């Protein structure tokens, strides 16, 4: 009977997959991104991630169908989260929804197979595994946002120092940003942020507006503090190179203080495991004597 359930689940999944492809294919594919950070991420994923070419085809096919849905608020929210995460794999909001749908279907199929093999209700297995599968790409997206913000906060003082040194050497702010961005690693989040800043400055944005846009894209305390300090320095007429050097030193000091605070907390948190270890050692050493004393064999 279990094998019959597995066969029925496989047939149902195949039929659902065929129906999904028939539903998506006649409308074509979403166009690939043609410029900017998203296009760079897509090209890197197609070149470096194994098997992403086949997955990308399915994402573009299903995403093209989902693009007809009038969920504008949801798309705007997902686009902001993708931007905060650094455009992972060059996905658009429709492709991200397609990825959630596909992971949900795959997880539901696995849950149905496991439930059928164990003799449990298939619907329960589908719900138990399918719903977390739907949300799995969103959880991963939130983790990428956290990692990217942490990376920017750690790298920002050194980058600000380089910009300040470039300006002291005779470059203006825009040229200094260009030079520093070109020397950063291709995978560095700050490289894309500096290139975005340079692009806005070349379009005619003021320095304050361009920096505010960077703070919106990477809303971390260190970036916000840097943008606020630059804005105040411009109003007071402080030389920008000197201001950048001071801000880099302040950020480096705060980072050191945060590391020392984390180290002090680690010393307190490790006390509980040590107490458990000492308790286990005392139990091993004194346990035989306690047993003998309870039996009256100690004396």
Model confidence pLDDT, tens digit, residues 189-239: 888 888 888 888 888 888 888 888 888 888 888 888 888 877 777 777 777
Task: Write a three-state SS string for 179-197.
Answer: HHHHHCCCCCHHHHHHHHH
Whole-number Å distance between alpha carbons of 213 and 196 = 9
Split at pLDDT 50, 70, 90, the class of 109 is confident
Q: Which tokens hold the place of 128? A: 């138990």
Split at pLDDT 50, 70, 90, the class of 15 is low
Q: Which tokens hold the place of 217? A: 């894209």
**How much is the pTM?**
0.70
Q: Which residues contact 97 (CB under 8 A, 6 or more apart)?
A: 63, 66, 74, 78
Q: Is the CB of residue 163 less than 8 Å from the CB of residue 201?
A: no
Split at pLDDT 50, 70, 90, the class of 26 is very low
Nearest alpha-carbon partner for 106 in 139, 124, 132, 142: 132
Q: Which tokens hold the place of 1? A: 């009977």
Give all domains of the chain, ordered by start, each with its CATH number.
2-147 (no CATH), 150-263 (1.20.81.30)
25-34, 67-76, 165-174, 180-189: lowest mean pLDDT where? 25-34
Whole-number Å distance between alpha carbons of 172 and 97 = 43
Instruction: Find how far residue 244's CA is from the centre of its chain.
Output: 28
Split at pLDDT 50, 70, 90, the class of 276 is confident
Which whole number is the average pLDDT over 69-87? 85
Whole-number Å distance between alpha carbons of 298 and 84 = 68
Question: What pLDDT score does 12 carry?
Answer: 62
Which whole number is the average pLDDT over 251-279? 78
Question: What pLDDT score does 10 carry?
Answer: 57
Question: What pLDDT score does 225 carry?
Answer: 81
Which whole number is the average pLDDT over 2-14? 58
Q: Which tokens hold the place of 196? A: 């975005």
Question: What pLDDT score does 162 carry?
Answer: 85
């Amino acid at each position: 009977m279990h094998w019959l359930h597995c066969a029925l689940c496989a047939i149902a999944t195949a039929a659902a997959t065929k129906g999904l492809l028939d539903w998506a294919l006649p409308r074509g594919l979403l166009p690939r991104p043609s410029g900017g950070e998203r296009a760079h991420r897509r090209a890197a994923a197609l070149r470096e991630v194994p098997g992403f070419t086949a997955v990308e085809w399915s994402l573009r096919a299903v995403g093209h169908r989902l693009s007809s849905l009038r969920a504008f608020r949801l798309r705007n929210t997902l686009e902001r989260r993708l931007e905060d995460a650094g455009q992972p794999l060059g996905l658009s909001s429709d492709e991200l929804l397609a990825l959630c749908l596909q992971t949900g279907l795959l997880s539901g199929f696995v849950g149905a197979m496991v439930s059928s093999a164990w003799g449990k209700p298939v619907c329960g297995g589908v719900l138990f595994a399918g719903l977390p599968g739907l949300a799995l790409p969103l959880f991963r997206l939130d983790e990428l946002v956290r990692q990217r913000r942490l990376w920017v906060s750690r790298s920002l003082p050194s980058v600000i120092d380089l910009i300040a040194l470039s300006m002291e050497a005779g470059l203006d702010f825009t040229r200094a940003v260009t030079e520093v961005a070109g020397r950063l690693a291709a995978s560095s989040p700050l490289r894309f942020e500096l290139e975005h800043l340079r692009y806005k400055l070349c379009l005619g944005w003021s320095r304050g507006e361009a920096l505010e846009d960077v703070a919106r894209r990477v809303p971390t305390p260190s970036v916000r503090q840097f943008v606020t300090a630059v804005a105040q320095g411009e109003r007071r007429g402080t030389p920008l190179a000197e201001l950048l050097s001071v801000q880099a030193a302040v950020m480096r000091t705060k980072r050191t203080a945060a590391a020392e605070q984390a180290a002090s907390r680690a010393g307190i948190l490790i006390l509980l495991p040590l107490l458990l270890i000492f308790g286990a050692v005392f139990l091993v050493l004194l346990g035989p004597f306690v047993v003998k004393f309870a039996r009256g064999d100690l004396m």
